[in-house]
């Protein structure tokens, strides 16, 4: 079977795209690693029109329900590995599965937390090492923890952890903590937080679970260790676009360059929406709007082709 349109990514942008392909009665499917994306990382969304306040999970459940109402299939647990041209169509290659053929594509794969790429990071993921304080802070009750990254997201992770952790070290590579001064002040007042600047993390150590974090003090050149029961990484985000490298044009950050009017990428027939694109602002309502725009453009593309 050849689809009219395949949506890659099942979160704010991709699910909205699914509502639109369903209503247009396009032969479509959503392929996604998991449903929800970043929205699942937030407890309260207070800026999505129609809801004074809603949890990210509830918002996604509602979007999913709406996609299912239009009988658009959502295939979960699917990781897209590459895309290639096949005559006028596209062939989507997935991990551990048969390739999928389609006339057009919407890429809505969002972004992922940046990694440190140091020894121990992969080994201890979900064994004391986490990228999401909102999800995991309660698991660290009474423990000493380290947060890597002293920007706003690192400080917010620290705020989440002050309710549970015993002591919190915030390790920042730079010589200065860059996050909001007012949040820094609030953290200082808890008496639980120690800021460590000029810290280049070298390794996460432990046996079954995280036990230590090792860093190079960039001033003294000494390698130092802290005994901790948890490590939270908060050093920014990268667009999930690696599978398109060399095929569609990406900017320096790895975002898919799109025509802002049509959401079309450098390859005709491939559209992008939401945080994976070079759209300037990253919010649920924007990702949803961009998902809708991308489908309307793809619909016109299919009529003309
Ligand atoms: C902690 C936090 C709080 C936030 N709070 C708010 C808020 O209050 N209000 C607000 O409007 N926004 C908020 N945001 C931003 C908002 O969540 C994002 O802008 C929005 O989720 C982007 O949606 P997206 O669909 O573009 O991508 P994502 O949400 O990143 O979803 C990407 C999807 O693509 C899938 N995927 C990735 N790679 C592949 C692949 N190779 N193959 C198949 N599937 C793949 C993923 O599984 C996922 O389903 C917050 C973000 C964070 C992290």
| CATH architecture for segment(s) 2-113+237-304 | 3-Layer(bba) Sandwich (3.50)
* 141-168: pLDDT as tens digits: 999 999 999 999 899 999 999 999 999 9
Is the beta carbon of 17 within 6 A of some atom in ligand 1?
no
* 176-213: pLDDT as tens digits: 999 999 999 999 999 999 999 999 999 999 999 999 99
Average pLDDT, integer, range 117-126 = 96
Average pLDDT, integer, range 222-251 = 97
Beta strands in 16-151 (DSSP E): 28-35, 73-76, 80-86, 89-94, 100-107, 111-113, 129-130, 144-148
The residue extents of the domains of the chain are 2-113+237-304, 129-233
Angstrom distance (rounded) from CA 116 to CA 233: 8
Q: What is the DSSP letter of 268?
A: T
Angstrom distance (rounded) from CA 292 to CA 279: 14
| CATH architecture for segment(s) 129-233 | 3-Layer(bba) Sandwich (3.50)
Strands 270-272 and 100-107: parallel
Give percent of the chain above pLDDT 70: 100
* 19-72: pLDDT as tens digits: 999 999 999 999 999 999 999 988 788 999 999 999 999 999 999 999 999 999
Alpha carbon of 14 to ligand 1 centroid (Å) = 10
Q: Which of 12, 53, 149 to mutate to test the pocket of ligand 1 (most atoms within 8 A of CB)?
A: 12
Reply yes or no on whether the pLDDT at 128 is more than 90: yes
Is the beta carbon of 274 within 6 A of some atom in ligand 1?
yes
Reply yes or no on whether the pLDDT at 16 is more than 80: yes
CA dihedral of residues 256, 27, 284, 34 (deg, nearest 10): -90
Q: In this predicted model, which residue has the larger pLDDT, 134 or 76?
A: 76
In sequence order, what DSSP letters do the residues of 230-252 get, joined into one string? EEEE-S-EEES-GGGTTTS-B-T
Contact 181, 152 (CB under 8 A): no
Residues forming a β-bridge with 210: 206
Angstrom distance (rounded) from CA 65 to CA 170: 40
188-227 burial: b if 16+ Cβ within 10 Å, else e: eeeebbebbbbbebbebbbeeebbbbbbbeeeeeeeeebe
pTM, whole model, 2 decimals? 0.86
Average pLDDT, integer, range 201-228 = 98
Alpha carbon of 39 to ligand 1 centroid (Å) = 6
Is the beta carbon of 16 within 6 A of some atom in ligand 1?
no
What are the structure tokens assigned to 227, written together? 């005994």
On the question of a common fold for 2-113+237-304 and 129-233, the answer reads yes
For all residues of the chain together, what is the average pLDDT? 96
């Amino acid at each position: 079977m050849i689809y009219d349109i395949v949506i890659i990514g099942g979160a704010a942008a991709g699910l909205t795209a699914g509502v639109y392909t369903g209503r247009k009665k396009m032969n479509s499917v959503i392929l996604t690693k998991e449903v929800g994306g970043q929205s699942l990382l937030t407890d309260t969304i207070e800026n999505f029109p129609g809801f004074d306040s809603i949890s990210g999970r509830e918002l996604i459940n509602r979007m999913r329900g709406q996609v299912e109402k239009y009988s658009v299939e959502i295939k979960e647990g699917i990781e897209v590995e590459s895309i290639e041209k096949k005559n006028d169509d596209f062939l989507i290659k997935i991990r551990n599965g048969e390739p999928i053929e389609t006339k057009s594509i919407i890429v809505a794969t969002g972004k992922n937390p940046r990694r440190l790429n140091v020894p121990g990071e992969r080994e201890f993921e979900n064994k004391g090492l986490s990228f999401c304080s909102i999800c995991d802070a309660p698991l660290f009750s009474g423990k000493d923890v380290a947060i890597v990254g002293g920007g706003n997201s690192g400080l917010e992770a620290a705020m989440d952890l002050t309710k549970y952790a015993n002591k919190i070290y915030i390790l920042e590579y730079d010589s200065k903590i860059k996050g909001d001064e007012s949040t820094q002040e609030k953290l200082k007042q808890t008496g639980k937080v120690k800021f460590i600047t000029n810290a280049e993390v070298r390794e996460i150590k432990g046996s079954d679970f995280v036990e230590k974090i090792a860093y190079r003090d960039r001033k003294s050149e000494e390698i130092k260790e802290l005994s901790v029961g948890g490590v939270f990484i908060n050093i920014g985000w990268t667009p999930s676009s690696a599978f398109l490298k060399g095929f569609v044009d990406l900017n320096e950050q790895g975002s898919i360059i799109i025509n802002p009017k049509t959401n079309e990428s450098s390859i005709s027939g491939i559209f992008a929406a939401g945080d994976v694109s070079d759209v300037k602002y990253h919010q649920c309502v924007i990702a949803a709007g961009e998902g809708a725009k991308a489908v309307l453009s793809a619909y016109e593309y299919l009529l003309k082709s």
